Structure 1
Amino acid sequence: MRLFLAVAVLMLAFVAYTEAQEEETVQQKLSNLGDQMTEMGKNLAEKAKTTFDELSNSQFASDTRDWFTKHIEQLKSKFGDVAQ
């Protein structure tokens, strides 16, 4: 009787051990890969947006926009004078 009990306990221990070490299926791996790619894409988009905002709001960009606006207005006024 003790032998059967020992075998049963060993079988339960073996089952618990093998269930604890289950490998991921291909479907689970692909799902995890998809989740990781989505997260990486979100992070990349957020970093790109932050960088673009920083560049747009920089002093250099502001000065450049002002310079172009000033010169375009000067050209418009010169062409307006020529047309009259």
Structure 2
Amino acid sequence: MKLLVAISVLVLVLAAHSNAEEEATVEQRFVQFQQQMQTLTDDIAEKTKTALEQFHTSDFAVKTKNFFTEQFEKLKVKMEETFPPQN
């Protein structure tokens, strides 16, 4: 009977010891959290950069830029006609 109890206690101690080693320390958890946040921010930054590049080269952006350039040139010509430079 004593041998059975001793073996049971030994098994429980080994089980408790092996479970204790599997748990991460607070420092390890912070390092893992930092790595996850770094991965997340890198992913968001890359997706944002890609989206902005696609928007910048999109048909809408190009046409809008050309429209405003044409309007500015027309306004510039009109201003020069209305207020000629005085030399």
- Common fold, TM-score beyond 0.5? yes
Count the aligned residue pairs. Answer: 74
1:1-37 deviation per Cα after TM superposition (whole angstroms, max 9, x unaligned): xx8xxx7xx67xx27x717852000110011000100
**Root mean square deviation of aligned Cα:** 2.2
Q: Which residue is 1:60 aligned to?
A: 60
- Structure 1 portions without partners, runs of 5+: none
Superposed displacement of residue 80, structure 1: 1.1
- Structure 2 portions without partners, runs of 5+: none
Q: Which residue is 2:45 aligned to?
A: 45
Q: So what's the TM-score if we normalise by structure 1?
A: 0.77
* Alpha-carbon distance in structure 2 between the residues aligned to 1:48 and 1:22: 38
For 1:5-84, what aligned pairs fall within 5 Å after superposition?
14=14, 18=18, 21-84=21-84
Q: So what's the TM-score if we normalise by structure 2?
A: 0.74
